[in-house]
């Protein structure tokens, strides 16, 4: 494989555009500002470095519901989750309900080298401190105002993620989220699970949307196991979204298969995935408008 085969796709969540924290154009610019530098990283350092770079940039951008700008939970606190996996060693690592860190995805990455690859809550945060990740308050004024209003009028969801294929054929997928907003403390999202994030040598997937629905369908793992059975990506995504729609599920996903095919899908026409993708031929954004995109 050469540099010409490198592929990167990122997302900034799915749903009906919230419009409360940012405009459609601001989301588009945020995705563009992440995909270009992360694509350079993909060419120079490979898929894992590119996924980490893209997600860190999206976690930095307060309009996205991950890292700084994460939604507040019912008790007014932010707890974040992130997961990461690549086809080099097949290790899934992640953090669940971590708090007061700038980059949950970096802590998830660090856990790859540990005996236990998945930590939650206080212990995840204590681990981050021991590893030198400093205190960072991720609450922004916009999210605080949204939280106060959401107590009366529940808002929709959002998350960020990235999937990359590098010139050595290594596929990496990562996802980071501030959750669905106003949830009961202790709720566990899909992002730091193999339902929300999965990669192996046949493909990679990052999901966004209602975590309970993504877990019900084991979405990311199901895509990869069906790819292993030789089912084409387009057929898998069509069937998954049909099943999701029939169960009134609300989620979307981005994906890549080992041949470099991109896939973006959501369960309903009213749910758009905010995405950007880049390779040597394409540079596309911004929403799938609820349609199936296979490239």
Residues that bind ligand GLY (CB under 6 A): 157, 159, 177, 179-180, 189-191, 208-211
Residue tagged active-site, from 68, 125, 159, 287? 159
Overall residue count recorded for the chain in this entry: 295
Question: What's the min distance (Å) between Cβ of 210 and ligand GLY?
Answer: 6
Indicate the residue among 62 and 158 with the shorter CB distance to ligand GLY: 158
Question: What's the min distance (Å) between Cβ of 220 and ligand GLY?
Answer: 11
Indicate the residue among 30 and 158 with the shorter CB distance to ligand GLY: 158
Indicate the residue among 208 and 217 with the shorter CB distance to ligand GLY: 208
Indicate the residue among 15 and 62 with the shorter CB distance to ligand GLY: 15
Question: What's the min distance (Å) between Cβ of 40 and ligand GLY?
Answer: 28
- Indicate if 125 belongs to the active site: no
Rg (CA), the chain: 17
Q: Work out whether the CA dihedral 206, 225, 243, 180 comes out positive or negative.
A: negative
Question: What's the min distance (Å) between Cβ of 166 and ligand GLY?
Answer: 26
CA-CA distance, 65 to 138, in Å (whole number)?
10
Q: Which residues are catalytic?
A: 159
């Amino acid at each position: 494989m050469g540099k010409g085969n490198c592929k990167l796709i990122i997302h900034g969540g799915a749903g009906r555009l919230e419009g409360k924290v940012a405009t459609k154009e601001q989301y588009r610019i945020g995705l563009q500002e992440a995909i270009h530098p992360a694509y350079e990283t993909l060419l120079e350092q490979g898929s894992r470095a590119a996924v980490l770079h893209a997600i860190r940039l999206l976690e930095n951008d307060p309009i996205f519901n991950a890292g700084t700008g994460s939604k507040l939970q019912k008790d007014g606190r932010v707890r974040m989750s992130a997961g990461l996996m690549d086809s080099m060693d097949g290790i899934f690592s992640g953090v669940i309900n971590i708090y007061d860190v700038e980059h949950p995805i970096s802590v998830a990455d660090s856990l790859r080298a540990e005996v236990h690859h998945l930590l939650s809550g206080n212990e995840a945060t204590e681990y981050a401190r021991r590893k030198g990740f400093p205190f960072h308050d991720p609450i922004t004024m916009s999210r605080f105002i949204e939280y106060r209003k959401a107590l009366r009028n529940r808002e929709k969801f959002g998350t960020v993620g990235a999937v990359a294929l590098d010139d050595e054929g290594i596929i990496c997928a990562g996802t980071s989220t501030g959750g669905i907003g106003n949830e009961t403390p202790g709720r566990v999202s899909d992002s730091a699970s193999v339902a929300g994030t999965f990669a192996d040598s046949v493909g990679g997937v990052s999901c966004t949307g209602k975590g309970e629905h993504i877990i019900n369908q084991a979405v990311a793992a199901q895509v990869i196991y069906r790819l292993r059975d030789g089912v084409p990506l387009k057929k898998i995504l069509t069937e998954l979204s049909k099943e999701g729609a029939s169960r009134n599920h609300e989620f979307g996903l981005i994906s890549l298969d080992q041949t470099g095919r991109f896939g973006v899908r959501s369960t309903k026409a009213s749910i758009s995935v905010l995405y950007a993708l880049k390779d040597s031929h394409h540079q596309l954004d911004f929403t799938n408008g609820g349609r199936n995109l296979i490239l």
